[in-house]
A and B are shown apart, each in its own frame.
Chain A
């Protein structure tokens, strides 16, 4: 029997069959010390054991490909000692109890799911096991101490029972005040390569994504949105749209017009038949060439101080060698395979939303605000996400809020579906950035003075994260990985500054966020310094990293596995990069050639130190995927604006990596006792500089702009 989430909640509240584990972890910052005693429980449901022995894990985070549907379940199962084959997952509803243990709202992002839930989900498993054991002890009238639990069976002497047979009795017990978690040496699942448990539905077409939601009475809407950033709806005529067979309504959305129809195709034809007048973009609109020229000009002067030590002017003046370089990256679309969509039903003062979101709390609040109801009247059904990469974690709740407005105006349940063009031109991009670096090297070639100016839009300004993550005007995501670069610890003069110009182009986090450009600038510039010093890029980095044992060991591992000390085949060259982000360190060596004027990436050797590795098979997948994602940006990704209008529209003019371009990837996970880091994003950033550095080794062309283009 499959319960819907609503039924589950109802059954939970009514105390029906099934074991519900309650627990609570106080909000602690990642850096803060962990509480000494295990957390006290409060009523919440993260796990349900059915009478049929099924173990259903409720995920407080969203499965968007990163594998937490498997990884979080492993954490519970490790402590619960259940039968892994009986484990199922469901997305939890939107509710305060499912708030991220560190960020305090229900969301998925920042490569934080596994490390932030590592204690909470293991505790759930241990608490449930404790309750099952106590239920068994009461039933058999034996001491709990002599009861054994393995593979979903509970045994004591001649007595034995399955989890399902004891679940109802166990549920009636008070959850334990404290539990003891297993010693890592006793782990059976954690650290074991484990296949995904969402595979069966994803290879049969049964997996439900937001776009797949269907129910009687649900209509589909396609929306005309402003064609340029900064332009506004002036007036529209929906008469022709209403003549399209299947079109039922034309409704304004505030700054757009929605066509509501029986199905997507009618809605799309109706949308195309709308006659709309838009205002010219305010201020003429952003044009890429002009904007980048302005950013370059801005970069000539220091901005808001991010980090400063010593006297930078004197440091640069005293340096033996001075290098200067400007690095540039464009706006990027996330281009998830599933175009944005959201289904909304408003009925009897309540609202139901079906969508693939990374941001339940924000979306719930936005819907409540639009409808003038309390957040707890907004139910969010999180579907699978057909890719997230940050686009579905929008503090502005754009695709959800719009759908709520349309459903409200239309008076019928509506699923808003974006076309690929709508999705690509809909904004919330990785911002364009310019980095200007002046580096001074000493007589041994080491960087002793480093002046680094960053220019690019703030992602966090104006969002609820601003108070937490923007300090003294500096958006931490704009400069992550720079000021704390391990290469610069020995520099006597350092200055990192930031300009955050405002533009009408909306921006957002994009897999690995600021690291997408900071790693490119830093790892390319260090490579330039190595060559200026006449040193091997590996040896040069190893010398700078000699007091950074994790970095040094990882770089050595990647280089050894890539065969750095033996020359590559004729016509090929290697480049390397190492970057720390989201609490993990990743080193990559890329081997490339140039074929018919195009960069061809043959092999990528990747070494990662992410602390405890929960599912090595999932880690390997995330690294392969991150490299593919980073390669798309390194080789192809670029959005171009002309007077506020995005020129690219679909996969023919916004190319992403295809199968024929995918290199061989070797992944080496370093055994590590370091604090656990993230894995969904950290391997994205190093690939662009690794390739740019390989291109230099092969061609002596230093490519400082993404996407990489040979002269």
Chain B
């Protein structure tokens, strides 16, 4: 009995140290990212006064872009999404919808709304994909092409788009997203003005729920009604305004939202295109590009700008949220595992020594550590190894520090873009930021832990989040 108690004692002590390190490492780095982003976003805001988007708009050197919209059973949202893409303010733009074998009315709604006719097409794949079975065009809308292919998954649909696109850059856009009119122009600005070859440019994704929309455009920005969606607004602000911005500033970008990002086509093709072996093809491609650049001694740049905005629908029910978070966590673990040789690899620089280890430990393993922490720390108290007072202080610290970071994200938003203009919205956001770590965080943690378990079980199933048509 004594041996068992001793074993448990040692085990719980080690685990408590792991939890502590997770807490300090995670929050410490997030604090650094927040401080870095605060300055960078502020400077970016100043730059907007003289950004010269007009020059980019009229410059004959501005490169053509193709927006690729992969769609699978998106009948409720696809028309508005395509409409928003066609309305984008960009001098040389093509829009291509790749229907990934939908079984609903996705294609027929597009045909009906845009007056498309089926045509004969030739397909010259550079990246191997499932076959394309139908092509639709309307000669009166020459910059729109819809192709329908045999189902092969989102990465396959994106690869078809890459094969078919003729422009040097392509922008992938999720079928439930709405673009702001000048978002693409802003996204291309860092590419046009960079001395180093910029192969990826990502923008911010904001939550559409609660906003007023018409014909693919957001007319009025507002907060969603339900607590679940509001927590996600705060979460997105934190993730994009200082998570992505901060990593970009450090040169350690590992995630660019697949919902809205511009890629250099030739580089993506050289790196092998989107892979099918993870469920988060966007992150996988970014990590793959890092690996490809390091192996081929290529100097590339990945840019993130917190200003070009794409609006997306967030899950409005617990079941949808669970699907989404499980998939994200599963994809994260799959990608990190797949590219594990980057971990502490000398040639990968900041990515190999900071960004990848951080994502592996805090974002990947962290879900399991934190979840088990909630179970094992009470055991420590029960065994008399952790003083309850200390535990209470630490738990409070954990909650309040999380709140501090979330409030920081809201402050960042307030200092810079102020997309939520009403004073009531600011108050609501602050309240939800303070309480995000009590209840909601644990709920999401539970889903993430399930994602880790699915990864350990070897699952590769894509859990679709049904879109209810907030954009419609």
Are A and B co-members of a single complex?
A: no
B-side residues, CB < 8 A to A, are none
